[in-house]
Structure 1
């Protein structure tokens, strides 16, 4: 079975592992924007409860794969930072493993602008570890990854990869606090962090 034909429920990797976190954070938001949607797996998951889901990504091949798998989601091949979405367009904005492809301050500011008052922003991202400060997190990530790999098949996504991330976890936390006052920043296993923020009404 190829990586593209594997059903969603049979896929796993360090990003997919946190799709539940994203889905629980946004709840039953009516309109959702998925920034850096790739081939649309998270968008398809969110469409189960949201009446409108828009996915946007610069990678044309991934968007073609996404469109081939779902006809009721709007997919755009475009630069999220420059696309002319109207201000306050979405009840929820999500993004997984995409923020480190952009300038984080610019991207978070744009997301906050597009979110309606009371809406939720939920991000899972990657930041750079600094040794020896982050050694414990890194080692725990290795153990967790090996544990999950014993039980699941690692699905290789088709999207471009940027490595290493340009900012550290400490810097990312500081940026989130600066741009999104009151945001919840958490470190996770598998070398990920999350940011969840509700826009003030």
Structure 2
């Protein structure tokens, strides 16, 4: 049995097939890349900045964040899978921001759970827990932390908040760290 018979995928082109096939250099010339044909993949930092900017715009807007469309909610949710973006989103704790931030986190959780994105919600549950914790609502914070840990038991920020809640600590020390991080950014927005 010849080599071609044992390995049908190795059968070479013969006769007319070989003559009609483009040569490699011709194929390359036909496949020149045009800028508009390229997909630009942003860096992790660019995605992080886009996520924080989007959250900032939603929270600072006078409109109710619960009216956001699913595409915007999913962009925010996917952006918050980055721990640094999530940590920076925790800085929306000033009184003029906290209410809209809490509405956003809860609306995003609800939309994600109804659209099949539940696995991406630990950050949202953690942010909701943080919002409750900062507002002095320890029970609401505990519920949200447990929801985050039910989805991902190893989610570090949720575990940290869980420890703070269990130990009866106040959010002050963590708030200081969050605000310190916020101040590192020139725009002063998380």
Band of TM-score, shorter chain: under 0.3
Which has the larger strand fraction? 1
Which has the larger helix fraction? 2
TM-score under structure 2 length normalisation: 0.27
Greater RCO, CA 8 A, separation 6+ = 1
